[in-house]
Amino acid sequence: MSDYKAPLRDMRFVLNEVFQVPRLWAQLPGLAEVIDEETAAAILEEAGKISAEVVAPLNRSSDEQGCTWSNGIVIAPEGFVAAYQAFAAGGWVGVGGDPQFGGMGMPKAISAQVEEMVNSASLSFGLYPMLTAGACLSINAHASQELKERYLPNMYAGTWTGSMCLTEAHAGTDLGLIRTRAEPQADGSFKISGSKIFITGGEHDLTENIIHLVLARLPDAPAGPKGISLFLVPKVLVNADGSLGERNALSCGSIEHKMGIKASATCVMNFDGATGWIVDAPNKGLAAMFTMMNYERLGVGIQGLALGERSYQNAVAYARDRLQSRSPTGAQHKDKSADPIIVHPDVRRMLLTMKALNEGGRAFSSYVALQLDTAKYSDDAATRTRAQELVSLLTPVAKAFLTDMGLETTVHGQQIFGGHGYIREWGQEQLVRDVRITQIYEGTNGIQSLDLAGRKIVGSGGALYRLFAAEIRHFTANACADLGEFTKPLNAAMDTLDELTAWLLDRAQSNPNEIGAASVEYLHVFGYTAYAYMWARMAKAAMSTHSKDAFYASKLATARFYFARLLPRIHSLSASVRAGSECLFKLDAAQF
């Protein structure tokens, strides 16, 4: 596996040239005095260094070793403790955290780039700070001031980590079925009892304490999702002076033996009357969880992008070096026994597909991050509302499409390596194994598709869709003539998506099965069209430089490839949507 190099030039291009983010920061209260172009560049540079120099070298060895469990104790792979301490010492756990409690206070547009770099270096490693950041977000938004002051500083500092204890063995995604219970105590605390599964970072030896956020039911809670509350339950109880007290009544029953992310401890957590404190009001647990869900789901999408980027870097290096056969047009390197495989059309097809999907995904994830920042920091109510609505619409696309494309890009990278891509020593098969979980956790991609098609499109009567569509139409209507090679096919794609959306809205009125039958393909049409919008904006930024610089020439060439070879996928996907749901129900269950 080649050494990982953070794509800093491309990140700066997206932030500074495509979206001109420094101008936005200057207009948003709370960011103007915190971040500017120079500060952002310095932060990304340092994040790139620690990702490449400290985290990335552990990726393969930690996959080989994995986490170990014995009598409730989980040990991380060799090197992880020291790496996490170095990562925490740099302030990276709290990069997006509230400065009031020791966080760095960076906008999501910056923390999204940091997340990509860390996850490219090692997805298993990146999960520990990601879950901590998510727990911090919920605590900061919903917990009492006392809980914030007691727990957030050490969590942002990386001294303690966090976990999210949501589902149970019988419940899966249907959290309304959970059985974990919370019994009120006279001192205002609660006793939490129950078992949770698939808990990332539920137990490990990276930090001295782990702060669990646990979904549970109060004795008088109504049935279903409306009866769920959220509780903060530390592994080690914290004394009034902030020192650590006795071990809480909870334990790790086992860790999962997984296909990938083997250095991330995925735990079964047992709570046996553990002491906890309620976060927010009774029966408001899901609302508190959904505060961080948009951030977390975007973060999972970025994981797919991150592994696609790592796969691309490996594949390019291999394709330039591996000698095999001659170019179809004749020998390109007559002094060598064969040409590098990068001369072959099919290898170039795969490399360009990876490059186009990765760079389109980076632009799209950054765009969604900008909407999160606008919704959080803008002092204009209408601007905040618009950004919140775009986030609501685009979050399932970011989670599902980025991770679906992440699997495609890692598989392409493995394919370019040929037989070596199937062998562990080269690292490509690990990327394929690791990326696979991103399509499953934080809500499977099928559920994300249902969220987009059912809740966001049909549920809003198309209003959320029209908001995004209007922005794209405004862009194409005001683009210069030179951009026509990109705006014309983008407009045509929008025509297709408009028609498909209208079809879905109409058919869903008479047959609710149409939403589920159409959802996955509809999300992909949406995703390819959204990427086309991103590529048109990147092409505009590249053309405006009036430069023959190789970086901008590469952008334009990749944009042309995307519109010529990838965007047309929407036509077969649209045909699948329009085929309807009837053919899915021709068989009885016994006939499968």
| Residues 6 or more apart in contact with residue 86 via CB below 8 angstroms | 50, 54
Structure-block tokens of residue 45: 């540079």
The C-alpha R_g of the chain, in whole angstroms, comes to 24
CA 527, CA 518: separation in Å to the nearest integer? Answer: 14
CA 49, CA 121: separation in Å to the nearest integer? Answer: 11
Q: Which of 296, 389, 442, 514 is catalytic?
A: 442
Q: Among candidates 359, 301, 255, which has minimal Cα distance to 123? A: 301
CA dihedral sign, ordered 227, 232, 235, 241: negative
Three-state SS at 414: helix
Residue-by-residue DSSP string for 127-192 = HHHHHHHHHHHHHHHHS-HHHHHHHHHHHHTTSEEEEEE---TTTTT-GGG---EEEE-TTS-EEE
DSSP, res 567 = T
Q: Are 191 and 183 in contact (CB under 8 A)?
A: yes
Largest alpha-carbon pair distance within the chain?
Answer: 84
CA 139, CA 309: separation in Å to the nearest integer? Answer: 32
β-bridge mates for residue 352, sequence order:
none
C-beta atoms surrounding 465 within 10 Å: 22
Q: Are 533 and 540 in contact (CB under 8 A)?
A: no
CA 50, CA 451: separation in Å to the nearest integer? Answer: 36
DSSP, res 340 = B
Q: Are 422 and 319 in contact (CB under 8 A)?
A: no
Structure-block tokens of residue 295: 């951030």
CA 122, CA 79: separation in Å to the nearest integer? Answer: 12
Per the annotation, the verdict on 442 as an active-site residue is: yes
Q: Among candidates 156, 174, 158, which has minimal Cα distance to 166? A: 174
DSSP, res 440 = T
H-run or E-run covering 315: helix 285-321
Residue environment code for 37-48, b if the CB has 16+ CB neighbours within 10 A, otherwise e: beebeebbeebb
Query: Between vectors from CA 184 to CA 178 and to CA 186, what angle results, nearest 5°?
Result: 170
Q: Which residues are marked as active site?
A: 442
